[in-house]
């Protein structure tokens, strides 16, 4: 009896031992940097010399400096491109591919659509900045169909730079969403569709009543991943516009980088990073809650 | 886990930065020297941190090793933007003996660079034309640039102005370089009428290239000294002056007249160069680091002139900056590094490399021998322009170098807005001045 108790308490500690390596990594590489960022955000520091205590001044600047606040607003605008377009379009494409699932065309379509996800973001950014340049393919096509009047340097124009960045993001994320949704569709019981068809349901009815509700969790993952990608965007903007022209496509991720490494305002950069982290969590948690599986 | 968490939190509770080793005052102030140092005869390995894409530094170190076989170089290269971002950390953690430097103010403030005053004395650098070294001097504490102790040295110094395509110039009947700003305006108008692009310039991404013509116009309308005072952070200096406003309005006139490419806000430096070399653009505001390149790519077809003054015969000015290299405050082989820097300016072979590979004027005494240059080349005219600038005392640092962030965060967005019609000349100068004041105070 005694021995059994001992073994049980021993195994409780053994459990913790198994967690220890992962927990140690988590603390050193996630918790500690996060804690340090929060700490830095309360100082005025150039990254080298001695820091001076600054209280919440950096946070006040994040919300009162029009340039910094505009960057946050731009990130929110990007959600429409990075999130709404890939999810909606992804649903339509996945539904179409599923209907032709048996043909070889489906395999080709899947590959082509997922390809942007495989290409490094930097390469995608460079390719798109060529496509969207004043003599690029986009403008050539527009001129060819007689729309010469609207051609412009899409990434260098104040009104189109941010949407152009958004289009690149949508193109990259569409493949991921399509693939996730397609995987979700494949696990829906075919008997449901058969039953619906026997009851006289058309393709649209099938989609709304069976496909969409069954994909609740997959859509949740897509929306979460893409919203986070929009809010935390950096690579695409850095490669294609660097925030220009005149801050028209500036996003918080890029602003943090500029503040920390070129302006050497590590405190302000950290404060913006903390605000961005809170914003990402504030957006991601409700999405998770809304889309979680109620039956379990 | 508790121990790890506690430990990391305890480490995080100290004020950031206070744990960094600060070089002592003794290390950063120059030791008194009685005679010129040398690299000795023992094997020495110099640690170098150079800029990618500028072969001059490598060519010079190779030649130095040839002449001093005991000295070898262990070189690491990065893009200039990367060097700018990493400079403080590299100098603090792993100080190179010889390093390509970005704007030095912040590095001097943090005691990261070796004070070169004693070397200047024993090598006689202080007898060279003072304008060569002015931009690398800092007052004590690193507040004001342009005066005080020497903290860096140039491998050569560049000269900026206006390049022009001679073939296109012939098409519009321009046979001699413009003598006044009005002449330049007239040539641009003619080019526009003839369906040519008057100006090849870049203004995209984070590098607002319209700062080149803007500063040239500033120097046409007003004197160069107040612009330098502003760049050097002299107390009370302002960029928002009446003549600078005239210059910015003139630039806006060029924008509105369509003298720049329509997509100039999306053109980067490399695109500008390739378009100009393809014959797209009559004028290009740029520097002599491209002289050698243009001589090779468009031999005989490119001319160079300094920005013309408003009145014929008036004083001229140009952005002219040394290719700055410095020595880490805690560098192991500082004496050898200083010997190398002196050799670059005084050795005949080194000066030839400076001109032929670097394309720019070597540092050194005014009467030092110059390598032979092929007549009729762009290199010849850019080097000649240097003499005129020295005579007019018109050497300026670049307005983009006033603070570490003023170019990317203030000039560039404001110039892009000016092109897009979203900023006025008055607003541009006021906005840049406001950013400058906050950056000087904050930094």
CA distance B442 to chain A (A): 8
Give the pLDDT confidence score for residue B354 in this predicted structure: 86
Indicate if the pLDDT at residue B221 is higher than 70: yes
More confident residue, A239 or A264: A239
User: Average pLDDT in the B381-403 region?
Assistant: 86
Q: Are residues A84 and A189 in the same domain?
A: yes
Q: Are residues A35 and A179 in the same domain?
A: no
Helix then strand then coil, in percent of chain B rounded to 5, is: 50, 15, 40
State whether residue B234 is helix, strand or coil.
coil
Confidence of residue A1 (pLDDT cuts 50, 70, 90): very low
- Mutation pick from A47, A155, A240, A245 vs chain B, by most beta carbons of B within 10 Å, is A245
Please name the residues in contact with B46: beta carbons below 8 A apart, sequence gap of 6 or more.
B61, B71, B72, B73, B74, B97, B98, B333, B336, B337, B340
Give the pLDDT confidence score for residue A7 in this predicted structure: 55
Q: What is the pLDDT of residues A22-70, one digit of tens each?
A: 999 999 999 999 999 999 999 998 887 788 998 899 999 999 988 899 9
**A108 vs A124: CA distance, rounded Å:** 20
Mean pLDDT of the residues in chain B: 88
CA distance A273 to chain B (A): 17
Please name the residues in contact with A41: beta carbons below 8 A apart, sequence gap of 6 or more.
A58, A59, A267, A270, A271, A273, A274
Out of B92, B405, B422, closest to residue A48 by CB: B92
Q: Tell me the chain A residues in contact with residue B204 when contact means C-beta distances shorter than 8 Å.
A: 155-156, 244-245
Q: Tell me the chain A residues in contact with residue B15 when contact means C-beta distances shorter than 8 Å.
A: 43, 50-51, 53
Give the pLDDT confidence score for residue B383 in this predicted structure: 86
CA distance B263 to chain A (A): 5
Token pair recorded at residue A59 = 């946070």
Exposure string for B256-273, b = 16+ CB within 10 A, e = fewer: eeebbbbbbbbbbeebbb
Within a domain: residue A168?
yes
Q: Are residues A195 and A240 in the same domain?
A: yes
- Note whether B15 contacts A53, CB cutoff 8 Å: yes
Residue B51: Cβ within 10 Å count:
20
State the fold for domain B36-158+322-371: D-Maltodextrin-Binding Protein; domain 2 (3.40.190)
Q: Are residues A31 and A124 in the same domain?
A: no
Q: Are residues A87 and A13 in the same domain?
A: no
Residue with tokens 């107040």, as numbered in its chain? B226
Indicate if the pLDDT at residue B443 is higher than 60: no
**B264 vs B207: CA distance, rounded Å:** 11
Q: State whether the Cα torsion A80-A82-A85-A87 is positive or negative.
A: negative
Distances (CA, A) of B239 to A95, B138, B139, B426: 61, 21, 21, 11
Q: Are residues A19 and A133 in the same domain?
A: no
Indicate if the pLDDT at residue A6 is higher than 60: no
Beta strands at B153-157 and B322-326: parallel, antiparallel or unpaired: antiparallel
Domain B160-319+394-442: give its CATH architecture. 3-Layer(aba) Sandwich (3.40)
Token pair recorded at residue A50 = 């001695």
Confidence of residue A9 (pLDDT cuts 50, 70, 90): low
Same fold, B36-158+322-371 and B160-319+394-442: yes
**A216 vs A236: CA distance, rounded Å:** 29
Q: Are B185 and B240 in contact (CB under 8 A)?
A: no
Token pair recorded at residue A229 = 């990608």
CA angle B204, B283, B362 (to 5 degrees): 90
Mean pLDDT of the residues in chain A: 89
Within a domain: residue A54?
no
DSSP B257: T
Closest CA to B49 of B336, B328, B322, B355: B328
The proportion of chain A whose per-residue pLDDT surpasses 70, expressed as a percent, equals: 95
Q: Are residues A78 and A146 in the same domain?
A: yes
Within a domain: residue A50?
no
**A295 vs B176: CA distance, rounded Å:** 84
User: Average pLDDT in the A172-200 region?
Assistant: 91
Selected residues 88-117 of chain B with any CB under 8 Å from a CB in chain A:
88-89, 92, 106, 109-110, 112
Question: Domain spans of chain B?
Answer: 36-158+322-371, 160-319+394-442
DSSP A28: I
Give the pLDDT confidence score for residue A169 in this predicted structure: 93
Confidence of residue B306 (pLDDT cuts 50, 70, 90): very high
**B149 vs B119: CA distance, rounded Å:** 11
Indicate if the pLDDT at residue A213 is higher than 70: yes
Confidence of residue B31 (pLDDT cuts 50, 70, 90): low
Q: Which helix (H) or strand (E) holds A67?
A: helix A66-79
Give the pLDDT confidence score for residue A131 in this predicted structure: 94
Indicate if the pLDDT at residue A164 is higher than 90: yes
Out of A27, A48, A156, closest to residue B4 by CB: A27
Within a domain: residue A227?
yes
Number of independent structural domains in chain A? 2
State whether residue B302 is helix, strand or coil.
strand
Please name the residues in contact with A135: beta carbons below 8 A apart, sequence gap of 6 or more.
none
**B424 vs B431: CA distance, rounded Å:** 10
Give the pLDDT confidence score for residue A15 in this predicted structure: 85
Q: Are A243 and A250 in contact (CB under 8 A)?
A: yes
Within a domain: residue A11?
yes
The parent domain of residue A175 ranges over 67-291
Q: What is the pLDDT of residues B10-25, one digit of tens each?
A: 444 566 765 444 444 4
- Note whether B404 contacts A49, CB cutoff 8 Å: no
Tell whether B158 is within 8 A of chain A (Cβ): no
Confidence of residue B3 (pLDDT cuts 50, 70, 90): very low
The least confident of A90-94, B143-147, B338-342, B427-431 is B143-147
Confidence of residue B7 (pLDDT cuts 50, 70, 90): very low
Q: Are residues A189 and A225 in the same domain?
A: yes
- Mutation pick from A33, A244, A250, A272 vs chain B, by most beta carbons of B within 10 Å, is A244
Q: Are residues A11 and A76 in the same domain?
A: no
Indicate if the pLDDT at residue B183 is higher than 60: yes
Q: Are residues A216 and A135 in the same domain?
A: yes
Closest CA to B201 of B292, B273, B287: B273
Q: Which helix (H) or strand (E) holds B118?
A: helix B117-123
Residue B388: Cβ within 10 Å count:
15
Indicate if the pLDDT at residue A162 is higher than 90: yes
Residue with tokens 């430096």, as numbered in its chain? B269
Give the pLDDT confidence score for residue B30 in this predicted structure: 54
Residue with tokens 């005579």, as numbered in its chain? B391
Q: State whether the Cα torsion A281-A287-A290-A293 is positive or negative.
A: negative
CA distance A219 to chain B (A): 35
- Note whether A156 contacts B206, CB cutoff 8 Å: no
Q: State whether the Cα torsion B9-B10-B15-B19 is positive or negative.
A: negative
The least confident of A148-162, A235-249, B376-390 is B376-390
Q: Are residues A170 and A23 in the same domain?
A: no
**B214 vs B218: CA distance, rounded Å:** 6
**A27 vs A8: CA distance, rounded Å:** 28
Report CA B172 to chain centroid distance, whole Å. 33
Q: Are B261 and B284 in contact (CB under 8 A)?
A: no
Q: Tell me the chain A residues in contact with residue B416 when contact means C-beta distances shorter than 8 Å.
A: 244-246
Q: What is the pLDDT of residues A73-118, one digit of tens each?
A: 999 999 999 999 999 999 999 988 888 877 888 888 888 988 888 8
Residue with tokens 């850019």, as numbered in its chain? B382
- Note whether A156 contacts B263, CB cutoff 8 Å: yes
Give the pLDDT confidence score for residue B149 in this predicted structure: 93
Closest CA to A258 of B268, B92, B85: B85
Q: Are residues A215 and A277 in the same domain?
A: yes
Q: Tell me the chain A residues in contact with residue B22 when contact means C-beta distances shorter than 8 Å.
A: 49
More confident residue, A99 or B135: B135
Provide the H-helix boundaries in B257-312: 269-277, 291-297
Indicate if the pLDDT at residue B430 is higher than 90: yes
User: Average pLDDT in the B392-420 region?
Assistant: 90
Q: What is the pLDDT of residues B71-91, one digit of tens each?
A: 999 999 998 878 888 888 899
């Amino acid at each position: 009896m005694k021995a059994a108790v001992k073994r049980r308490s021993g195994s409780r500690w053994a459990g913790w031992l198994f967690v220890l390596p992962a927990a140690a990594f988590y603390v050193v590489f996630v918790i500690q940097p996060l804690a340090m960022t929060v700490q830095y955000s309360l100082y005025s520091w150039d990254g080298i010399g001695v820091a001076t205590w600054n209280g919440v001044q950096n946070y006040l600047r994040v919300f009162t400096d029009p340039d910094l606040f505009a960057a946050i607003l731009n990130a929110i605008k990007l959600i429409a491109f990075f999130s709404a377009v890939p999810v909606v379009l992804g649903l339509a494409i996945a539904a179409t591919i599923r209907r032709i699932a048996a043909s070889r065309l489906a395999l080709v379509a899947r590959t082509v659509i997922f390809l942007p996800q495989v290409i490094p973001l930097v390469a995608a950014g460079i390719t798109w900045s060529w496509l969207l340049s004043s003599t690029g393919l986009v403008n050539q096509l527009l001129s060819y169909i007689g729309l010469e009047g609207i051609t412009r340097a899409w990434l260098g124009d104040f009104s189109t730079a941010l949407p152009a960045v958004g289009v690149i993001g949508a193109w990259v994320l569409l493949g991921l969403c399509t693939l996730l949704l397609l995987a979700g569709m494949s696990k829906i019981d075919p008997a449901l569709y058969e039953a619906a068809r026997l009851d006289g349901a058309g393709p649209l009815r099938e989609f709304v009543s069976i496909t969409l509700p069954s994909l609740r969790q997959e859509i949740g993952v897509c929306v979460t991943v893409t919203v986070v990608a929009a809010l935390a965007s950096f690579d695409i903007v850095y490669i294609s516009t660097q925030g220009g022209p005149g801050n028209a496509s500036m996003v918080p991720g890029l602003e943090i980088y500029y503040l920390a490494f070129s302006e050497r305002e590590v405190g302000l950069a950290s404060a913006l990073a903390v605000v961005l982290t809170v914003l990402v969590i504030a957006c991601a948690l409700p999405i998770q809650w809304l889309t979680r599986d109620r039956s379990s | 886990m508790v121990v790890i968490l506690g430990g990391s939190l305890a480490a995080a509770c100290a004020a950031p930065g206070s744990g960094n080793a600060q070089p002592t005052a003794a290390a950063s102030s120059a030791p008194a020297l009685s005679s010129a140092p040398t690299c000795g005869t023992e094997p020495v390995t110099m640690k170098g941190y150079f800029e990618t894409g500028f072969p001059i530094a490598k060519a010079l170190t190779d030649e130095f090793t040839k002449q001093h076989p005991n000295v070898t170089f262990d070189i690491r290269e990065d893009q200039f933007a990367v060097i700018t971002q990493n400079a403080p950390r590299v100098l603090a953690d792993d100080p190179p003996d010889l390093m390509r430097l970005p704007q030095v103010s912040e590095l001097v403030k943090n005691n990261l660079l070796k004070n070169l005053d004693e070397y200047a004395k024993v090598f006689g650098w202080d007898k060279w034309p003072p304008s060569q070294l002015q931009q690398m001097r800092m007052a004590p504490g690193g507040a004001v640039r342009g005066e005080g102790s020497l903290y860096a040295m140039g491998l050569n110094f560049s000269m900026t102005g206006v390049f022009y395509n001679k073939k296109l110039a012939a098409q519009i009947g321009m046979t001699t370089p413009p003598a006044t700003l009005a002449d330049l305006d007239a040539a641009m108008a003619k080019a526009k009428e003839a369906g040519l692009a008057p100006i090849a310039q870049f203004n995209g991404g984070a590098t607002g290239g319209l700062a080149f013509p803007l500063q040239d116009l500033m120097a046409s309308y007003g004197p160069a000294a107040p612009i330098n005072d502003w760049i050097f952070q002299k107390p009370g200096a302002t960029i928002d002056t009446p003549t600078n406003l005239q210059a910015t309005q003139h630039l806006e006139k060029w924008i509105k007249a369509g003298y720049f490419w329509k997509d100039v806000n999306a053109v980067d430096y490399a695109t500008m160069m390739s378009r100009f070399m393809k014959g797209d653009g009559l004028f290009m505001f740029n520097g002599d680091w491209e002289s050698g390149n243009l001589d090779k790519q468009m031999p005989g077809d490119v001319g160079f002139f300094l920005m013309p003054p408003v009145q014929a015969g008036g004083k001229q000015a140009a952005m002219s900056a040394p290719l700055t290299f410095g020595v880490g405050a805690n560098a192991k082989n500082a004496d050898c590094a200083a010997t190398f820097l002196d050799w670059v300016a005084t050795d005949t072979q080194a000066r030839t490399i400076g001109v032929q590979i670097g394309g720019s004027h070597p540092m050194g005494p005014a009467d030092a021998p110059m390598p032979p240059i092929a007549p009729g080349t762009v290199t010849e005219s850019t080097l000649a322009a240097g003499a005129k600038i020295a005579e007019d005392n018109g050497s300026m640092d670049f307005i983009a170098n006033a603070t570490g962030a003023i170019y990317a965060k203030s000039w560039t967005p404001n110039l892009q807005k000016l092109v897009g019609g979203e900023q006025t000349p008055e607003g541009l100068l006021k906005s840049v001045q406001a950013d400058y004041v906050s950056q000087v105070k904050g930094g």
